A and B are shown apart, each in its own frame.
Chain A
């Protein structure tokens, strides 16, 4: 499922499609039954705290949540396991979104040479590996890090249950599922507000229809 599809050569939101409505009904039910009562106000820190303290059984998000809390000496060390996401009912494989933080260079920069050298240094094999080994920055996008013995020996320790295997399986299928477009943040915020309304009892189909028409009007 994608946030936007191309229809007749134009971007179109699929948020009010029957598949989306069915998915959201399931998702809303799952939040109602399983999420923390404070889900509407929870940020990353509360999710990490929930995992760390044992109040939260499962989190679907960044793998570093679990990794950092599995580190030896932490209360939850060795108690958190990793698994790839499940596939959709009619899908052959699971799909996973990847979120990448990037370094960008301004086209108006007067010192592009220096900026380019900095970007090359910051994303170099040595810096990435050092970040993973010394800084526990576990999401290195470089293949060289994931074939380095020092890093793999550390990340494959028993307390990081399934971490390396899961990462490698997900890595093969992960892709940027978001459609790059102006107004991305606005649509994300509107969707988050709609999700909270649906969890609070608003009709799923009607809310998604309103949301889709709001997003269409801003396109």
Chain B
């Protein structure tokens, strides 16, 4: 047996195979490197729209670095002056506080009430079945209509809320007309409007829990409250947090409800950043300073959302 010859044939054969495969690889690589014009054309509209949004955003950031003001013939680049001027005022920090207080308290309360309502839905009692479609109504109302409706209801003189309170012997409450109660009243409106959002998402999470898990807990002696606290709550925590991300972003940006009810007042007790930015830009006509306030608002939203998303990832990993 000419083993050497066999070796030579095998070697030659493998070299031919290698040559062929390397040719295929080169062809594949060339194919991969070649621009797929059809795919690019298909996603081009999405890219153009995205660039359009980004352009507007960066244009807003650019405006915040200028002294753009109505009636000013020449617009100058002034760097971070608008930001420096803003952070030196007490009004700015008051707005930051108001924005954080509004968003954090609204989201926490909505998560709590949303969880309670979702549990009620999951129980399947008759009232819950009845309420399930009705509870969506506040969500589909335009926020400005919500604001006008609640402004009328919260009127200290002719509002229905004070009338209802008077029936149980409670005296006149100022609601949105007093600096000390205006913020609480606004949070109440936000809770009424957006709790159904939490309720729906948490309800979906509760529906996704396998009954076997609950059964196993029951077999191990866990009662209703313990099952909820130690089994259900950790499993639906990611759902609560993902709803919280969306609501936190919206609450930190909230404008319609606040402007439609108090316009930032009484005084500046509810003057959140978005309302102050609007008044600065469109009533005081100082567009540069207004844009700077909006950029600060955007940064707060970004940091807040980033923090909750990180928390959501941690919780999800733990649940997995």
Contacts and interface: CB of A to CB of B under 8 A. Distances in A.
Interface of A: 36-41, 55, 182-183, 185-186, 189, 193, 196-197, 199-200, 202
Given A55-B157, A55-B158, A185-B283, A37 B262 contact: no
A62 B279 CA distance: 24
Interface in B177-225: 177-180
A200 B284 contact: no
B155 interface: yes
B179 A200 contact: yes
B284 A193 contact: no
Contacts of B265: 40-41, 193, 196
A-side interface mostly: loop
Given A41-B176, A55-B157, A189-B279, A197 B284 contact: no
Nearest to A56: B157
Interface string B262-276: 111111110100000
Contacts of B104: none
Interface of B: 69, 71, 151, 155-158, 172, 174, 176-180, 261-269, 271, 279, 283-286
A41 B263 CA distance: 8
Given A193-B268, A196-B266, A200-B179, A38 B284 contact: no
B-side interface mostly: loop
A32 B284 CA distance: 28
B284 A39 contact: no
Contacts of A185: 283-285
B261 A200 contact: no
Contact of B267 (A41, A55, A182, A193): A193
Contact of B261 (A41, A182, A197): A41
A98 B265 CA distance: 27
Contacts of A199: 266
A40 B177 contact: yes
Contacts of A40: 176-178, 262, 265-267
A196 B284 contact: no
Contacts of A202: 267
